[in-house]
Structure 1
């Protein structure tokens, strides 16, 4: 809950920043000077790119949260691994658990559930880059499955 409040606060500040940036961009573009117009376009495009990235990341977070809840309700989340006092997973336990999830993905390459569990295994092993890539694959399969079930109704 605390994280969602922080995200909401940052999102509010970002919306304020975007509104101010777009106002300044319009001021630059209305001058009629070629250089000012170019600056105005840049001031408009760069925050617009930021908006796109922000929306993409928020959707990613919402979808991964939803997938986690579905797996928890089905009892299909992986067993919790032992942790060190710092809260990190014991590396040996994570490395021993990893092949199970890798084989699951190899057996079910289009299952978002398998990819989700593999992402958790990568994260537990400390490989954040591959964890995020695997979670993106899980999200893509989840959205495709959701769209297919919506279309078939």
Structure 2
């Protein structure tokens, strides 16, 4: 719940920033000189990219959460079996063991979105965010009946 609130607040702040930046871009364009119109267009591009990025990430999170709900309903969510030290940090060897099992599971059933979801969680636990995101994208695509290039 805390992550959802943080995400909502961050998204709201970004939207306010995009509106303010867009307003400044329009004001620059209205000045009518070559320089201000050029800067105005450049300033307008940033909010457009930002809005697209925010929308794409929101869709990704929504779809990943939907998969988590489906797996939870099936009783297939990965169990947290990681060992932690006294400060709550994950033991690296423990993460490597879990990751190796998840990787083998995915290699045995490469078309099963559930395996890719569990692999994404293992990557996240190992703090490998780029691979976690790619594995989750694969899980989402497989669940939706789409394919992704390797």
Measured against the shorter chain, the TM-score band is 0.7 to 0.9
State the 4+ residue runs in structure 1 displaced beyond 4 angstroms.
Answer: none
1:25-36 to 2 correspondence within 5 Å? 25-36=25-36
Q: 1:143 to 1:101 in 2, by over 3 A?
A: same
Is the contact between residue 19 and residue 47 of structure 2 (CA under 8 Å) also seen in structure 1?
no
Tell me the distance in 1 between the aligned counterparts of 2:99 and 2:134: 16
Tell me the distance in 2 between the aligned counterparts of 1:98 and 1:6: 28
Does 100-109 or 49-58 show the bigger shift?
Answer: 100-109
Q: 1:88 to 1:14 in 2, by over 3 A?
A: same
| Unaligned residue ranges in structure 2 (runs of 5+) | none
Tell me the residue number matched to 1:108. 109
Give me the TM-score of the superposition, normalised by structure 1: 0.83
Tell me the distance in 1 between the aligned counterparts of 2:100 and 2:14: 41
> RMSD of the TM alignment (CA)?
1.8
Tell me the distance in 1 between the aligned counterparts of 2:110 and 2:118: 12
Could you list the per-position Cα deviations for residues 89-113 of structure 1 after superposition, in whole angstroms to 9, with x for gaps in the alignment? 3222222222322122222222221
1:9-28 to 2 correspondence within 5 Å? 9-28=9-28
1:11-90 to 2 correspondence within 5 Å? 11-81=11-81, 82-90=83-91
Does 25-34 or 102-111 show the bigger shift?
Answer: 102-111
Tell me the distance in 2 between the aligned counterparts of 1:93 and 1:10: 33
| Unaligned residue ranges in structure 1 (runs of 5+) | 146-153
Give me the TM-score of the superposition, normalised by structure 2: 0.84
Compute the displacement of 1:19 (Å): 1.5
